[in-house]
C-alpha cells in the first residue's frame, strides 16, 4: 500500500497545531495532524497540554475555588448569610474534566468539519524524499497500526513539558508538577510551591482558597520580574493579604519525600537555613520544549543548546518547507502566541504575507486579582533610555468594581513622551484578561494614549479604568 501524501502535516495538536491544521485546511490544502495524547479515561484526544492539563483545567479549578472563597468570605458583604459551606473535591474535579472533554471533543468535530486527517500516534521524521518529508507515525494504542506518510510541508507543534529538577522526583502524588497539582484528591493542609511564576501562582491560589496553608519558594531575587515593577509590588501585597506566603531569593537544597509528607531544606534571602515541612509539594520551575523524540537528525535539523528549534520571523527552519511554532521555538510559551504562529505558517505556505508583532502579544496571570500586560514595562523603557509618560488609575475609584466587590489594583498606560504612542499597558485587577484586549488592539494600530482617552466607554464598566489611565498620561483623568 502506497504511503499517504499530504500537502501539510502538523506534528502536535495543541493550540498551535490544531489551529495551524484548521487554517491550512481552510486555505485548500490536504492536511493531517499527528497526535498521541491519551486522557485519564484511556481515550485518545486532541488539544495537547493546554486543553488537557494546562490552561483549560486550571481555569476551571480557579473558577471553582473562587466561588468557594466568595461563599465563605465575601457574600456576607452583600447581606447574604451562609453556613456550613463545604467543598466536594471529587465533584469539582469531575466538573473540570467535563469541561476538558467538551473542549477536546470540539476540536475533533472541527477536524472532521475541515476534513483534517488525525494520525493517531507519535510522529518521527524518517527522511527527506522527492515528495517532501517522510514521517513515521508510531501507534500508542494496540488498535492502531504504524504508518508512514509523506508531507510536502511540515509544521512542528509539539509543545513543551514541565521542567523537573534533580533531587525532586515527581510522582504526582507527594511531589507534583502542574499535571498532578490539577488532580489532588484532597486539600493539603500544608502545600509547598517551588516557583512563583504563572503556574505556581495560579495553582497555589486554587489550593489556598480551598483551605491549604501555601508557602511559595522563588529563586529569583525579585517577584514577577517579567511584569511591570509597580504591578509586581501590588501583586505581592495582595497575595500576602490573601495568605499566600511568598519567599523570593531562596536557594532550595535537599528535598525529602516521606510517607505522607515532603521536607524542603532551603536558604532564605538573608542566608539563613530554613526547613519547610508540607503535605504536598508542587514543582513549577518553567517548561522545556518537546523536541527530543522527533528524529530531527534524520532530516539534518538540530535544536539549540536549550532544545529549541531555530526559526526566522515567519517560523521557517533552515530546511525548506519545514516550520516550527509555539513552545518549541523562541518567544513566550503562551497558547495564543502558538495559535497566531499556526495561522501565520499556514498563510505563508499559501503564499500570503502575514506578520506577527511579538511586542503586541499579551501576558495574563489568572490569579485574583488578575494580572495582564502587553508591550514594554517601565523598567524596560528606562533601560532603553526611551522617554515616556505614565498614566495610572485605580479600580477603587470605579463604580462597577466597587459594586462587584473587587476594587483592588489599577491600570497603567505608558506612552511615548513626544509622539504619545502607547508603548505598554499593565493591568492588575478584576477581569484584567479581558480588559487587556483593548490595549492590544490599540497598540496593533499604533494608537496614542489620547485615542483611548477620546473613545466613549460604557458607564458603569471596568473598561472606564482603561480610559481614565490613558487620560492620566496627560494628567487629565476625569475622576482622579
Q: Does the annotation list 201 as a binding residue?
A: yes
Q: Does the annotation list 158 as a binding residue?
A: yes
Q: With beta carbons less than 8 A apart as the criterion, state whether 410 and 458 touch.
A: no
CA distance 439 to 373: 9
Q: Does the annotation list 218 as a binding residue?
A: yes
Sign of the CA dihedral running 256, 258, 262, 267 = negative
Q: Does the annotation list 334 as a binding residue?
A: yes
Q: Does the annotation list 202 as a binding residue?
A: yes
Q: Does the annotation list 54 as a binding residue?
A: no
Q: Does the annotation list 424 as a binding residue?
A: no
| CA 59 to each of CA 93, 202, 206, 368: distance values in angstroms, whole numbers, following the listed order | 12, 9, 9, 12
Q: Does the annotation list 196 as a binding residue?
A: yes
Q: Does the annotation list 324 as a binding residue?
A: no
164 is written with which cell numbers?
A: 523537573
Spatial CA neighbour of 94 closest among 163, 182, 198: 182
Q: Does the annotation list 157 as a binding residue?
A: no
**Burial class of residue 88 in the structure, from the number of CB atoms within 10 Å of its CB (0-12 exposed, 13-18 middle, 19+ buried):** exposed
Q: With beta carbons less than 8 A apart as the criterion, state whether 176 and 193 touch.
A: no
Q: Does the annotation list 197 as a binding residue?
A: yes
455 is written with which cell numbers?
A: 473613545
Q: Does the annotation list 48 as a binding residue?
A: no
Taking the CA atoms of residue 76, residue 81, residue 84 and residue 90 in that order, the dihedral angle to the nearest 10 degrees is -70
Q: Does the annotation list 195 as a binding residue?
A: yes
**Active-site annotation, residues:** 459
199 is written with which cell numbers?
A: 503556574
Q: With beta carbons less than 8 A apart as the criterion, state whether 191 and 213 touch.
A: yes
Q: Does the annotation list 249 as a binding residue?
A: no
Interhelix angle for 463-472 vs 432-444, to 10°? 50
Q: Does the annotation list 336 as a binding residue?
A: yes
Q: Does the annotation list 59 as a binding residue?
A: yes
Q: Does the annotation list 19 as a binding residue?
A: no
Q: Does the annotation list 333 as a binding residue?
A: yes
Residues annotated as binding site?
Answer: 59, 123, 158-160, 195-202, 218, 286, 327, 333-336
Residues annotated as binding site for NAD(+)?
Answer: 195-202, 218, 286
Residues annotated as binding site for FAD?
Answer: 59, 123, 158-160, 327, 333-336
Amino acid at each position: 500500500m502506497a504511503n499517504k501524501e499530504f500537502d501539510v502535516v502538523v506534528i502536535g495538536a495543541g493550540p498551535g497545531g490544531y489551529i495551524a491544521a484548521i487554517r491550512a485546511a481552510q486555505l485548500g490544502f490536504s492536511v493531517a495532524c499527528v497526535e498521541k495524547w491519551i486522557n485519564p479515561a484511556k481515550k485518545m484526544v486532541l488539544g495537547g497540554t493546554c486543553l488537557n492539563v494546562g490552561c483549560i483545567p486550571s481555569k476551571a479549578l480557579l473558577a471553582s475555588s473562587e466561588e468557594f472563597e466568595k461563599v465563605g468570605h465575601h457574600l456576607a458583604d452583600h447581606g447574604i448569610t451562609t453556613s456550613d459551606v463545604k467543598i466536594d473535591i471529587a465533584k469539582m474535579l469531575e466538573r473540570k474534566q467535563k469541561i476538558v472533554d467538551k473542549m477536546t471533543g470540539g476540536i475533533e468535530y472541527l477536524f472532521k468539519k475541515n476534513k483534517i486527517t488525525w494520525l493517531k500516534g507519535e510522529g518521527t521524521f524518517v527522511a527527506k524524499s522527492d515528495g517532501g518529508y517522510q514521517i513515521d507515525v508510531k501507534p500508542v494504542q494496540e488498535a492502531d497500526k504504524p504508518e508512514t506518510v509523506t508531507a510536502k510541508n511540515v509544521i512542528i507543534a509539539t509543545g513543551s513539558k514541565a521542567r523537573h529538577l534533580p533531587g525532586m522526583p515527581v510522582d504526582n502524588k507527594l511531589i507534583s508538577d502542574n499535571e498532578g497539582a490539577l488532580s489532588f484528591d484532597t486539600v493539603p493542609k500544608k502545600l509547598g510551591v517551588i516557583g512563583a511564576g504563572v503556574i505556581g501562582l495560579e495553582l497555589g491560589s486554587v489550593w489556598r482558597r480551598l483551605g491549604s496553608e501555601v508557602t511559595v519558594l522563588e529563586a529569583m531575587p525579585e517577584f514577577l520580574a517579567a511584569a511591570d515593577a509597580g504591578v509586581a509590588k501590588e501583586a505581592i501585597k495582595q497575595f500576602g493579604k490573601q495568605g499566600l506566603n511568598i519567599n523570593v531569593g531562596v536557594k532550595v537544597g535537599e528535598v525529602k519525600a516521606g510517607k505522607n509528607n515532603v521536607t524542603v531544606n532551603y536558604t532564605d534571602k538573608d542566608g539563613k537555613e530554613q526547613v519547610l515541612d508540607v503535605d504536598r509539594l508542587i514543582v513549577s520551575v518553567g517548561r522545556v520544549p518537546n523536541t527530543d523524540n522527533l528524529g530531527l537528525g534524520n532530516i539534518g535539523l538540530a535544536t539549540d543548546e536549550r532544545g529549541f528549534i531555530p526559526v526566522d520571523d515567519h517560523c521557517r527552519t533552515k530546511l525548506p518547507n519545514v516550520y516550527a511554532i509555539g513552545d518549541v521555538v523562541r518567544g513566550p510559551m503562551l497558547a495564543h502566541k502558538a495559535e497566531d504562529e499556526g495561522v501565520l505558517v499556514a498563510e505563508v505556505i499559501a503564499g500570503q504575507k502575514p506578520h506577527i508583532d511579538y511586542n503586541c502579544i499579551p501576558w495574563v496571570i489568572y490569579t485574583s486579582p488578575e494580572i495582564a500586560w502587553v508591550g514594554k514595562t517601565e523598567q524596560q523603557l528606562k533601560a532603553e533610555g526611551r522617554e515616556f509618560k505614565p498614566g495610572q488609575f485605580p479600580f477603587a475609584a470605579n463604580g462597577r468594581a466597587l459594586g462587584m466587590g473587587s476594587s483592588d489594583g489599577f491600570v497603567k498606560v505608558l506612552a511615548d513622551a513626544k509622539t504619545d504612542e502607547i508603548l505598554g499597558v499593565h493591568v492588575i485587577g478584576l477581569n484584567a484578561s479581558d480588559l487587556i484586549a483593548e490595549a492590544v488592539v490599540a497598540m496593533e494600530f499604533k494608537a496614542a494614549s489620547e485615542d483611548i482617552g477620546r473613545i466613549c466607554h460604557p458607564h458603569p464598566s471596568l473598561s472606564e479604568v482603561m480610559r481614565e489611565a490613558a487620560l492620566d498620561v496627560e494628567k487629565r483623568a476625569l475622576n482622579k
